[in-house]
Amino acid sequence: MEIPYTVDAHPETGLHNSKIGIWLFLASEVMLFGGLFSAYILLRTGSLPGVWPLGSDILSVPIGTFNTLVLIISSVTMVMSWASLKMNDFSKYKLYMGTTILLGSLFLVIKIFYEYIPKFSHHHFPSTDTFYAIYFTLTGLHGLHVLGGILVNLYFWGPGSKLWKTEPERFSNRIEVAGLYWHFVDLVWIFLFPTLYLL
Amino acid sequence: MERAEDVKKHIKVYLWVFAGLVIGTIVTVAVSNLQAGVALGIFIAMVIATFKGSLVAGFFMHLRTEKKLIYFVLGITALLLLVLMFITFFTIGDQVGVQIVPESAGHSVH
């Protein structure tokens, strides 16, 4: 059975169904990260004066800033990959989507090899104290979201891109939806970075 | 459905948004070095983060020109998020300004 309204807009909503689906999913993601942010605020305001460490004293601000820029650039290349499809330029789509995948991977490599591993080697684990517990939980969950986005984008860059030949409009809708997810992951980091690294 | 001509016009806007996001990031880091105090520092950092988040949501996620149903879904989400935040704060509302010392005083609480 064919899934309805994957290309044309549903007459009731004016949207194709995948777009409604991804926004509902992102709404649930807002609640997930919102709950953790809420926990962070509660823990920080509930700690004794002078106990909560300043993020910039124990985390690397230059690395965090660089990773922020990496994610911002990846959001631009993601939206450009969708725009390329809309302009009927498949080779540019491949270039921009490939760049997005590489930038997402670079973000994770920096996170793991320049942040997590040095922290572990200095015996700083989630069990060390409340700051590290919330730091590893928030950044770890965000990192898993980046990994999920990379895998989806990798599929659309490789085998999934065959759909372009048979149903180009449906394929561009899929890239738009994948892009919405990727931009959301970027948006979460925009709030995570100052909260954890600078305040 | 977006037409190719419309998308071409968007590309210039995307590059301006990119510039805005980079400048926002640099300003956030610069302001954090000013030693403006914790409360003011948090306020400024969150204002800039909200500005950057609005750029991403409004332009990259096309929320500026989205259908009413999406706004409705996001409105409900924002409301529930506020409720979630307030429920958390109600649990400590009567403890604001009160220093809680654990029974095992002398042990670090963090």
Written in H, E and C, the secondary structure of B35-99 is CCCHHHHHHHHHHHHHHHHHHHHHHHCCHHHCCHHHHHHHHHHHHHHHHHHHHHHHCCHHHCCCC
Q: What CA–CA distance (Å, rounded) separates A33 from A39?
A: 10
Q: CB-based contact (8 Å) between A88 and chain B?
A: yes
Q: Report, as an integer, the average pLDDT of B35-58.
A: 87
- Distance between B36 CA and the closest CA of chain A, angstroms: 11
Alpha-carbon torsion, ordered A86, A182, A33, B55, to 10 deg: -60
- A7: nearest CA partner in chain B: B1
DSSP per-residue letters across A178-191: HHHHHHHHHHHHHH
Average pLDDT over chain A reads: 94
User: Which 3 state secondary structure label does DSSP give A107?
Assistant: helix
Does A187 have pLDDT greater than 70? yes
Q: What CA–CA distance (Å, rounded) separates B85 from B68?
A: 26
CA-nearest of A7, A5, A15 to A173 is A7
Taking CB atoms and an 8 Å limit, are B57 and A187 in contact across chains?
yes
Q: CB-based contact (8 Å) between A56 and chain B?
A: yes
Q: Report, as an integer, the average pLDDT of B27-56.
A: 86
Chain segment A75-120, per-residue pLDDT in tens: 999 999 999 999 999 999 999 999 999 999 999 999 999 999 999 9
Q: CB-based contact (8 Å) between B36 and chain A?
A: no
Who among A31, A38, A49 is closest to B77 (CB)?
A: A31
A-B interface: how many C-beta pairs under 8 angstroms? 139
Instruction: Report which DSSP code applies to A3.
Output: P
Position B29 scores a pLDDT of 92
Position A182 scores a pLDDT of 98
Which residue has better confidence, A33 or A199? A33
Position B96 scores a pLDDT of 59
> pLDDT-based confidence at A45, cuts 50/70/90?
confident
Which residue has better confidence, B29 or B103? B29
Average pLDDT over chain B reads: 84
Position A11 scores a pLDDT of 87
Chain segment B65-85, per-residue pLDDT in tens: 899 999 999 999 999 999 998
Who among B14, B67, B88 is closest to A79 (CB)?
A: B14
Tokens at A100, concatenated: 């997005």
Chain segment A159-174, per-residue pLDDT in tens: 999 999 999 999 999 9
Does B104 have pLDDT greater than 70? no
Does B63 have pLDDT greater than 50? yes
- Distance between B93 CA and the closest CA of chain A, angstroms: 11
Q: Which residue has the tokens 């044309």?
A: A8
Residues of A in contact with B52 (CB under 8 A): 190
* ipTM, interface predicted TM-score of the complex: 0.91
> pLDDT-based confidence at A12, cuts 50/70/90?
confident
For A131, A138, A139, A148, A194, the CA distances from A126, given in Å and listed in that order, are 8, 11, 11, 22, 20
For residue A59, the one-letter residue type is L
Position B33 scores a pLDDT of 82
Position B109 scores a pLDDT of 47
* CATH number 1.10.10.10 is the correct assignment for the domain at A17-198: no
b/e for A68-97, b at 16 or more Cβ within 10 A? bbbbbbbbbbbbbbbbbbbbeeeeebbebb
Chain B, residues 64-83, CB within 8 A of chain A, namely 67, 69-70, 73-74, 76-77, 80-81
Q: What CA–CA distance (Å, rounded) separates A151 from B69?
A: 29
Which residue has better confidence, A2 or A55? A55
With a pLDDT cut of 70, the percent of chain A lying above it is: 100
Taking CB atoms and an 8 Å limit, are A194 and B89 in contact across chains?
no
Who among B17, B53, B88 is closest to A191 (CB)?
A: B53
Q: What CA–CA distance (Å, rounded) separates A160 from A154?
A: 9
CB A100 within 8 A of CB A153: yes
